[in-house]
């Protein structure tokens, strides 16, 4: 498990995360929170290679607004 980054905003039903590292996760990778609870899956990687962003589709039980500012991880 490694840190993915912090949710910077939401858009079109997705959580947008600015990656902490220049090496983004694979599409389909499982995303979890600090308590290792599943949040969703990576559906897109975009932006500059040196500072990519990741779009995550969340599970139905997750409220997107509550995720803004949260640190998320890839398992």
pLDDT by 10s per residue, the chain, length 75: 899 999 999 999 999 999 998 889 999 999 999 999 999 999 999 999 999 999 999 998 899 999 999 999 999
Domain ranges of the chain: 2-74
> What is the CATH number assigned to the segment(s) 2-74?
2.40.10.230
Strand 14-19 relative to strand 30-32, pairing: unpaired
State the pTM of this model: 0.91
Give the rounded distance of the alpha carbon of 17 from its chain centre. 5
CA dihedral (34, 40, 43, 49) in degrees, to 10, reads 0
CA separation for the pair 66, 52 (Å, rounded):
22
């Amino acid at each position: 498990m490694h840190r993915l980054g912090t949710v910077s905003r939401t858009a079109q039903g997705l959580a947008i995360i600015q990656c902490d590292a220049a090496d983004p996760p694979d599409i389909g990778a499982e995303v979890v929170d600090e308590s290792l609870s599943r949040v969703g899956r990576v559906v897109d990687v975009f932006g500059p290679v040196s500072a990519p962003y990741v779009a995550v589709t969340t599970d139905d039980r997750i409220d997107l607004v509550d995720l803004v500012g949260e640190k998320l991880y890839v398992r």
